[in-house]
Amino acid sequence: MPEREAREGRPDPVELDIMRTFGWGVIALEETMYQRHLQLSAKASLMTREEFKSHLLDMESKGYLASTSLHGKRAFRRLLVNGDSAVSIHPRVPLDEMRLVLGSLKAKQDEREIGSPPATKKRRSRITSEVISESQMISEQIVDELEEHMLEDSGIKRKAAVHRHIENMLRALGESNTALFTYVKSEIPSALGCIGKILHTQGPDFLMLSLRLAEPQVRRYSS
């Protein structure tokens, strides 16, 4: 019994990897979590759907997450917060976030292809120079958009303010898309179109990754 209590208080390595499939959010579809998990490591790529579902049920019984519904589909809510475990349950490096993006893309592609003819377009199933280049390009677009807002607002490109906005957008997007839109509409309304377009066309995971890549570009100006 003491061993089980200790384990319930601290997720094992596999459970930590599964927790990281939430990214910076708190709710995720089961299929999205599975496809993200396959991308996280070579060991994770060997896990079957049945094994993954078994882990989810076990983690739910331990109070690490709770089953719910999102858009009429099975999903889970993360109950652990960063700090409950000895190590971070968030993505550890930008590479992890790229892997989460690819997992999300795979889940969406599978959903679209159900009942449809085989797609002719090549899937993005690996972290390629194309994925990195695209995310970097979007991160630069976000910085340019925020600097333009600074010019319109005060006539000065205040890098420290840009950095603060990026940090706040990361925090808001981690809560929900609605929280992000509320922040942008209130604090940087001129960037609403740009951020909304990225969110709509690329999805929240890609936007989160792009914001993560944009943050170091202006971090040195925040002091």
Q: Helix or strand or coil: residue 99?
A: helix
pTM of the predicted structure, to 2 decimals: 0.53
In the predicted structure, residue 86 carries a pLDDT above the cut 50: yes
How many helices (H) and strands (E) are present in the chain, helices listed first? 10, 3
Neighbours of 61 (CB within 10 A): 9
pLDDT tens-digit map of 148-197: 877 776 666 677 888 889 999 988 888 888 888 999 999 988 888 888 88
Residues 6+ apart with CB under 8 A from 101: 131, 135, 203, 205, 206, 209
pLDDT of 118 above 50: no
Residue reference for tokens 């390629």 = 128
- Strand-pair partners of 27: 77
Q: Cβ-count burial of 136 within 10 angstroms (0-12 exposed, 13-18 middle, 19+ buried)?
A: middle
CA 149 to chain centre: 25
What is the band of 59 on the pLDDT scale with cuts at 50, 70, 90?
Answer: very high
Conformation bin of residue 119: beta by default, left when phi > 0, alpha when psi is -120 to 50 = beta
What would the DSSP string read from start to end of 121-173?
A: SPP--S--HHHHHHHHHHHHHHHHHHHHHHHHHHSS--HHHHHHHHHHHHHHH
Q: What residue type is 134 in one-letter code?
A: E
**What's the pLDDT tens digit per position in 31-44?**
888 888 887 766 66
Structure tokens at 168: 């706040």
d(CA 11, CA 195): 35
Helix (H) or strand (E) segment spanning residue 74: strand 73-78
* pLDDT band (50, 70, 90) for residue 103: confident
Listed range (111-125, 127-141, 203-217) with the worst mean pLDDT: 111-125
Better pLDDT: 102 or 172: 172
